Chains A and B, each alone.
Chain A
Amino acid sequence: MNSQKFVESKSFRRALWIFAVLAAVCIIFEAGVIVGYHKAGFSYEWGDNYYQIFGGNPFSLDSDIGLDGPTVPRGVTGKVLSVTPTSMIVSGQDGTEKLVMITDDTLIRYQRDDVLQNTLMPGDRVVVIGQPTANGKIDAQLIRIIERTTHSISAATTTTSVR
């Protein structure tokens, strides 16, 4: 069988498909390993630092920190529990509380505007994207306020950026 016939043969096409499927399986597996590694690593750090960040007694019998499985490390969506100038605690929809660090580079947005950090109120519903830190916190890159408790945002607080 010459090379032209071999390339056009059904066996060749079948072999191509097998290699394509194997490559796809390997890529998906590797993606799963990467995602799983990040989730597990963050969840471990988060659980390890939970009582240092949020308080409570780690040796108490009813010390359930609400973590059913690995939690999402690069973001959180839920209700703001408390706010300080440099951080806020968000109660996530997955039942976990996360400490979100607000830096100078953090962009805070409500509707079409950039707003100041001091407009964040407990009770606001937010979506946060950020980078996980080594101690189970999230360095926020974007905080999107999706629902406010107080509907009055004064014009003074609406600026182009937090910076």
Chain B
Amino acid sequence: MKQTLSQFLKLHLDEPPARLYPEAIFLLRENSHLQRQRRLWALWGLIIASSAGMVGATLYTVQEVARSGFLHYVALLGSDTSTVIAHAKDFALLLAESAPVVGLALFFGAVFLLLEAFWFLKQLPREVALYSI
């Protein structure tokens, strides 16, 4: 069987061209370089989007705080401590109900995305970043 296969290969397969391996390796490197570059652009897009999202989330949070009066309630902790302690359960629920949860969630989400994007950017080889610039 082995004999037959080697005979078959000799008869039907040509020798690979001499430049096949260098070209294949070059193409593979080029492909991987392009992939890294695409990743780099995606990361920069994510950084810009999350920065804009952070600004938007901050503005939304400020608006939400102003609407709910959250800071006025928190200030009562300093000015009317004994009364607040006497009605601690109601006060805790009041803070929970008026907390700008949606704005804060959006803000923390944007910060998380921004930090993740920077972390992934740091993982990319230095020459990719320089090459693309």
Contacts and interface: CB of A to CB of B under 8 A. Distances in A.
Given A129-B90, A141-B87, A144-B79, A35 B66 contact: no
B67 interface: yes
Contacts of B126: none
Contacts of B94: 72, 74-75, 129
Interface in A126-151: 127, 129-131, 141-142, 144, 146
Interface residues of A, number: 26
**Chain A interface mostly:** strand
Interface in B62-106: 66-69, 72-73, 75-76, 79-80, 83-84, 87, 90-91, 93-94, 96-98
Contacts, number: 69
A93 B90 contact: no
Contacts of A130: 90
Contact of A142 (B66, B76, B93, B97): B76
Contact of A129 (B66, B67, B87, B96): B87
B61 to A, nearest CB: 15
A72 B97 CA distance: 6
Nearest to B99: A35
Contact of A144 (B67, B80, B93): B80
Interface string A48-92: 000000000000000000000000111111100000000000001
Interface in B2-26: none
B80 A93 contact: no
Nearest to B69: A77
Contacts of A107: 80, 83
Contacts of B79: 109, 144
A146 B76 CA distance: 10
A29 to B, nearest CB: 13
Contact of B90 (A76, A109, A131): A131
Interface in A16-43: 31, 34-35, 38-39
Contact of B97 (A74, A93, A144): A74
Nearest to B82: A107
B106 to A, nearest CB: 16
A75 B92 CA distance: 11
Given A31-B96, A130-B90, A75 B69 contact: yes
Interface of B: 66-69, 72-73, 75-76, 79-80, 83-84, 87, 90-91, 93-94, 96-98
